[in-house]
Amino acid sequence: MTITITDSHCHLDFPDFDEERPEIVQRAGDAGVARMVTICTRLRNEPAVRAIAEAYPQVFYAAGTHPMSAAEEPLASVQELVTLAQHPKFVGIGETGLDYHYTADSAEIQKQSLRIHIEAAQETGLPLIIHARAADDDMARILTETYEARPYHCVMHCFSSSAELAQAALDLGFYLSMSGIAAFPKSQELRDIFAKAPLDRILVETDSPYLAPPPYRGKRNEPSYVVNTAKVGAELFGLPYEEFARATEANFDRLFPKASLKKAAA
């Protein structure tokens, strides 16, 4: 019996997949990937991302403005995000966040955009999907102060930041998502952060088409490869793969209750 797992974050609308999207979804299913959440990073692309989710029972979607695009895109409104969230397969707000690695010059608009997405998560009850890079202090401060004002749910997608930001997120009850980065040979420090986190706060993802885990590193990533990352996660927690997969499935169900295959099939 195939053990099922979920790719909690991928980008099936990206051009990298245009020539073989049905085959990629099929390969994921064959590998035991029962669900995928495909992420819209620019709201003008939401109709195309929504269409992909509507085409496949096992695909759900989220939408927001990626922080690296915040200065290039029209600022989202809370109402716009709340309206999109009414779709039955829309399961999360984002990805949003802060990225000062390449786009520090747009820090202020990124913060404004982030707060809009947080308010939408607070309004809808859907989980916030956070991208954080080279902005740990501002990220921890904004997440903490907004959560204390009005609690919400959140996942730190593709987590590769500091132990301090990880702890700040965990202290708020948030989740950390493990991508292929955690499987890279030089990522021991990151693996140590995940290993110290509670098992019931861990998700797995590909962030495909980026960040393929070994043995596919350097190639285009795809949802079926989330199994490779999850096997590394199982080793970190000293668990059989099947037990780790069951744990991350339970975590995903808890954080993304709207992403139910039973609901989608009803």
247-261: b (≥16 Cβ within 10 Å) or e = bbbebbeebbebbee
List the pLDDT tens digit at each of the 266 positions of the chain.
Answer: 679 999 999 999 999 999 999 999 999 999 999 999 999 999 999 999 999 999 999 999 999 999 999 999 999 999 999 999 999 999 999 999 999 999 999 999 999 999 999 999 999 999 999 999 999 999 999 999 999 999 999 999 999 999 999 999 999 999 999 999 999 999 999 999 999 999 999 999 999 999 999 999 999 999 999 999 999 999 999 999 999 999 999 999 999 999 986 554 44
Q: The whole model's pTM is what?
A: 0.96
pLDDT at 90: 98
Contacts 24+ apart (CB under 8 A), 139-147: 139/97, 139/98, 139/165, 140/164, 140/165, 140/168, 140/169, 142/98, 142/111, 142/114, 142/115, 142/118, 143/118, 143/168, 143/169, 143/172, 143/174, 144/168, 144/172, 146/115, 146/118, 146/122, 147/172
What is the per-residue pLDDT for 265? Answer: 46
**pLDDT of 2:** 74
Alpha carbons 237 and 70: distance in angstroms, whole number = 37
66 belongs to an annotated ligand binding site: no
Judge whether 87 is annotated as a binding position.
no
Is the CB of residue 4 less than 8 Å from the CB of residue 242?
Answer: no
Residue 19 backbone phi and psi in degrees, to 5:
-85, -15
Query: Is the Cβ–Cβ distance between 9 and 39 less than 8 Å?
Result: yes
Question: What CATH class does 5-265 carry?
Answer: alpha beta
pLDDT at residue 1, as a whole number: 60
User: Which strands sit side by side in the sheet containing 202-204, from one edge to the other?
Assistant: 5-10, 33-40, 59-63, 90-99, 128-133, 154-156, 175-178, 202-204
What pLDDT, on the 0 to 100 scale, is given for residue 188? 97
Domain boundaries, the chain: 5-265
Find out whether 192 is annotated in a ligand binding site: no
Does 23 appear as a known binding residue? Answer: no
- pLDDT for the residue numbered 236: 97
Q: Phi and psi at residue 134, in whole multiples of 5°?
A: 55, 35
| Rg of the chain (C-alpha set) | 17
Question: How far apart, in whole angstroms, are the C-alpha atoms of residue 59 and residue 162?
Answer: 31
